[in-house]
Chain A
């Protein structure tokens, strides 16, 4: 591979699933990214894009990687248009840095990442979200414009900087969640939200999955408007079972208090937390699925929550320790499986055989686990048109190095 002033030999820390890329490219601007990609397409070099590297484990195990293209140096632009409630950030800007900047004017990009270093590019590539998804949606719901570098080096824009805009195809939303297999994000523009002036969280613990499901159903049927409704189940073959429900409220101080009172009236026995305690509760909720083991993502119909919790508990009674966190209002969750790769694989297969959950994807896992199950599961029903779109955007098939989902 030709040398370049923006390229270097890979270091051990650059390895992906234990595979060392031949080279790491660190372009410092959109033009340089385009040049790297033009060359890669011409030469047919398999290419993996990296933001800040927090979620590089997602996807199938890599076999050979010709190059990693790091976008960490794309830290501009960083523009906050507070009067318009929008912001534009380069792919390499950290979400935390963007939100620190937006917070100066009482606004934020209301998405959480489990990883402190998550970049804007990585956020879009993975569409990672947290409990606030209940109110604000996932990153793709807040994305209003992008600049992309296509595999052949063309730099294209789609969307814009206004919150309402239906001119042309929504490429930004389309490529969200594609893990860098369709195009590289150079910068992104989001609609923002005001930070609530006051927040409070109510938490409950339950003796049975049925009680937990009933409490969620009554919250969902009410006219309360929590920012998040999350569940947590920690279970294992020997450990005691914990089932927790969290409802987070955010509004003006008076309105938050009124909602919390109404919520406690609706589902009695809750513990009310605010300040540091509340911060710790949610941090724990966001980080818990990622502390070791394998992490599996899946969705379900919200009314099936009781069965989902039952399913998780039955896995735990088998041979793995489970830590499950779920967005109860949406029907989306993450399950951490601690145990041998074989036990993890059995759990993944059981989830896939169940009629209760769908879209079972292994996000993080050992090479051994990835060797025994396909991390993506069966192709989606709309795989064929997606494959055609992939061929158009990446005719040489360089992006993603076969790790999926495309």
Chain B
């Protein structure tokens, strides 16, 4: 990168918005997958779409790769910098621009956090539905890139179902609006290609999201089981009864132990805990909730704990949502995996994962969205034990093989990023991947927009395996993992 190019970035963004000192760049070396690290040549912190456009145009002219970054909470290295490239941090574009309650739409800049949207509209009885566990800190721009889900996406869908329009800078520097606040824009759904493209097709500078009316009633229960298969049967029966819960979550014994140590949710002792939440009109929730309770008891629940108050409900969810971070309390290191299986294959795949844990001697905690078959095995290891980090990575890869063999996916919500691009051929043929590359090249012919993500590249010799390592921010005690 030339001095002239850097001067151009300063001219576009201002002197306080271009970082290039090594100590300043440190924060941007990785996202929440800290074993993948690269140092960018510069980081820019633009405050307007025009500045983002200026930066992208400059990069396009000079053929410098660029990576958009929200708040860096991604779990697949989607915001991993490119050596010699520019990181475009959208953290300073964090204004809520317009709240339109009659049309149930909110317009925000990409650096606004997911939860901030709900905070803005909650006093009026509305909320933004996608709720990734990191929702307090993750950015809406990152959610758009990753097509984020959350515990409630079984009923309410993903980010793609809740974004109506974006303003985005394309890799050639064009600033365009894609999608519409009005329904039925004609033709193919380009917005759906941008959402979930993991920052490889555009840098989003504005987002119009749909908000929902808060449901009249919410009821949550926690059921304790002596075995995973009983809990699995309960889920099947709930779905079989024609009930679509707002959320169905499961945690196994190891995950429960970790959650208890970290946030003391006071869960009953169990091999497996099932959390079921229903929401909707009061009469419907009451009627169906009684059915769910009956199913839980019939399928062998030892305890069925109904959240009697909002506080109780929050405590149950705190125990669930803290589960990842909590693994740190019981294991020196852990690796978070994200895979999907058809819901009916859950018992079979979880059985294979348990056998794998026994065979390798590594503890594997399971926290998962049981309603949609999205697994989050947490693989415990100790990096001070020679070979364990490597083993943990192999175990994580093995689990993805189980998911694909069961007809599932290598990622349900964390994305492919840099982390899983080499697993893509397990799900897709060379022809499938070539078609995806074709689309990407149509939008980004010079391959400058977040290169090295999503689609596979040949694995390099001596590539460092990927166990969990503490982020510099965690090291410094400034933040905790979600």
Interface pair B343/A298, CB less than 8 Å apart: no
CB of B84 closer than 8 Å to a CB of A:
no
Interface pair A169/B281, CB less than 8 Å apart: no
CB distance from B20 to the nearest CB of A (A): 32
- Kindly name the residue among A158, A174, A225, A382 whose own CB sees the greatest number of chain B CB atoms within 10 A: A382
The interface residues of chain A lying within 8 Å CB-to-CB of B461 are none
Interface pair B188/A176, CB less than 8 Å apart: yes
Look across to chain B and name the residue whose beta carbon is closest to the beta carbon of A175.
Answer: B188
CB of B450 closer than 8 Å to a CB of A:
no
CB of B199 closer than 8 Å to a CB of A:
no
Interface pair A302/B188, CB less than 8 Å apart: no
What is the bound-complex CA distance between A276 and B39, given in angstroms? Answer: 67
Given the contacts A164-B374, A177-B187, A303-B103, A84 and B439 also touching, CB distance less than 8 Å: no
Number of A-B contacts (CB under 8 A): 273
Interface pair A106/B183, CB less than 8 Å apart: no
| Contact with B177, one of A254, A303, A382, A391 (Cβ below 8 angstroms) | A382
Could you tell me which residues of chain B, from 172 to 189, have a CB within 8 Å of some CB in chain A?
174, 176-189
| Contact with B440, one of A82, A169, A176, A405 (Cβ below 8 angstroms) | A169
The interface residues of chain A lying within 8 Å CB-to-CB of B177 are 381-382
CB distance from B367 to the nearest CB of A (A): 15
Interface pair A332/B184, CB less than 8 Å apart: yes
What is the bound-complex CA distance between A217 and B104, given in angstroms? Answer: 11
Interface pair B409/A165, CB less than 8 Å apart: yes
Which of B54-62, B88-96, B145-153, B324-332 touches A? Answer: B145-153
The 0/1 profile, CB within 8 Å of B marked 1, for residues 151-168 of chain A is 000111110111111111
CB of B135 closer than 8 Å to a CB of A:
no
Interface pair A380/B185, CB less than 8 Å apart: yes
The 0/1 profile, CB within 8 Å of B marked 1, for residues 95-128 of chain A is 0000000000010000000000000000000000
Interface pair B188/A182, CB less than 8 Å apart: yes
What is the bound-complex CA distance between A163 and B424, given in angstroms? Answer: 18
Q: How extensive is the interface on chain A, given as a class?
A: 35 or more
Which of B3-11, B109-117, B240-248 touches A? Answer: B240-248
CB of B12 closer than 8 Å to a CB of A:
no
Interface pair B184/A299, CB less than 8 Å apart: yes
Interface pair A392/B153, CB less than 8 Å apart: no
| Contact with B429, one of A157, A224, A382 (Cβ below 8 angstroms) | A157
Interface pair B184/A195, CB less than 8 Å apart: no
The 0/1 profile, CB within 8 Å of A marked 1, for residues 335-363 of chain B is 00000111110000000000000000000
Interface pair A141/B157, CB less than 8 Å apart: yes
CB of B23 closer than 8 Å to a CB of A:
no
CB of B294 closer than 8 Å to a CB of A:
no
CB distance from B400 to the nearest CB of A (A): 10
Interface pair A361/B186, CB less than 8 Å apart: yes
The 0/1 profile, CB within 8 Å of A marked 1, for residues 429-442 of chain B is 10111111011111
CB distance from A134 to the nearest CB of B (A): 11
Could you tell me which residues of chain B, from 416 to 460, have a CB within 8 Å of some CB in chain A?
416, 420, 424, 427-429, 431-436, 438-443, 454-455
CB of B47 closer than 8 Å to a CB of A:
no
CB of A86 closer than 8 Å to a CB of B:
yes
What is the bound-complex CA distance between A150 and B160, given in angstroms? Answer: 24
Look across to chain B and name the residue whose beta carbon is closest to the beta carbon of A86.
Answer: B342
CB of A297 closer than 8 Å to a CB of B:
yes
CB of A316 closer than 8 Å to a CB of B:
no
Look across to chain B and name the residue whose beta carbon is closest to the beta carbon of A169.
Answer: B436
What is the bound-complex CA distance between A258 and B280, given in angstroms? Answer: 12
CB of A137 closer than 8 Å to a CB of B:
yes
CB of B236 closer than 8 Å to a CB of A:
yes
Given the contacts A195-B242, A225-B280, A376 and B440 also touching, CB distance less than 8 Å: no
What is the bound-complex CA distance between A330 and B164, given in angstroms? Answer: 12
- Kindly name the residue among A86, A156, A194, A300 whose own CB sees the greatest number of chain B CB atoms within 10 A: A156
Could you tell me which residues of chain A, from 76 to 90, have a CB within 8 Å of some CB in chain B?
81-86
Q: How extensive is the interface on chain B, given as a class?
A: 35 or more
CB of B65 closer than 8 Å to a CB of A:
no
The interface residues of chain A lying within 8 Å CB-to-CB of B184 are 297-299, 332, 359, 361
CB of B223 closer than 8 Å to a CB of A:
no
Interface pair A168/B157, CB less than 8 Å apart: no
Which of B25-33, B209-217, B269-277, B388-396 touches A? Answer: B209-217
CB distance from A108 to the nearest CB of B (A): 11
Look across to chain B and name the residue whose beta carbon is closest to the beta carbon of A176.
Answer: B189
Given the contacts A167-B427, A380-B187, A140 and B373 also touching, CB distance less than 8 Å: no
What is the bound-complex CA distance between A137 and B455, given in angstroms? Answer: 30
Given the contacts A83-B236, A164-B373, A391 and B193 also touching, CB distance less than 8 Å: no
CB distance from B70 to the nearest CB of A (A): 16
CB distance from B437 to the nearest CB of A (A): 10
CB of A193 closer than 8 Å to a CB of B:
yes
The interface residues of chain A lying within 8 Å CB-to-CB of B193 are 169-171, 173-174, 389
What is the bound-complex CA distance between A175 and B342, given in angstroms? Answer: 25
Look across to chain A and name the residue whose beta carbon is closest to the beta carbon of B102.
Answer: A303
What is the bound-complex CA distance between A327 and B182, given in angstroms? Answer: 12
Interface pair A83/B284, CB less than 8 Å apart: no
CB of A73 closer than 8 Å to a CB of B:
no
Interface pair B180/A392, CB less than 8 Å apart: no
- Kindly name the residue among B184, B195, B443 whose own CB sees the greatest number of chain A CB atoms within 10 A: B184
Given the contacts A83-B344, A106-B242, A168-B436, A251 and B190 also touching, CB distance less than 8 Å: no
What is the bound-complex CA distance between A83 and B340, given in angstroms? Answer: 15
Interface pair A169/B189, CB less than 8 Å apart: no
CB of A311 closer than 8 Å to a CB of B:
no
Interface pair A168/B454, CB less than 8 Å apart: yes
Interface pair B160/A170, CB less than 8 Å apart: yes
Look across to chain A and name the residue whose beta carbon is closest to the beta carbon of B406.
Answer: A162
Given the contacts A164-B369, A168-B454, A384 and B176 also touching, CB distance less than 8 Å: yes
What is the bound-complex CA distance between A196 and B183, given in angstroms? Answer: 26
What is the bound-complex CA distance between A85 and B436, given in angstroms? Answer: 27
CB distance from A175 to the nearest CB of B (A): 6
Interface pair A380/B161, CB less than 8 Å apart: no
The interface residues of chain B lying within 8 Å CB-to-CB of A393 are 438-439, 442
Interface pair A382/B428, CB less than 8 Å apart: no
A to B CB contacts below 8 Å, 23 in the list: A83-B240, A84-B343, A84-B344, A157-B428, A160-B427, A163-B372, A166-B412, A166-B414, A168-B424, A168-B436, A169-B197, A171-B439, A173-B192, A173-B193, A182-B188, A251-B284, A252-B288, A255-B283, A331-B183, A359-B182, A359-B185, A391-B442, A405-B186
Ordered nearest first, which 3 A-B pairs have the shortest CB separation? A258-B283, A194-B242, A255-B284
Beyond A166-B149, A361-B184, 12 additional pairs, beta carbon < 8 A:
A141-B157, A169-B197, A223-B125, A223-B214, A251-B284, A255-B288, A299-B183, A302-B102, A303-B100, A380-B185, A385-B442, A392-B439
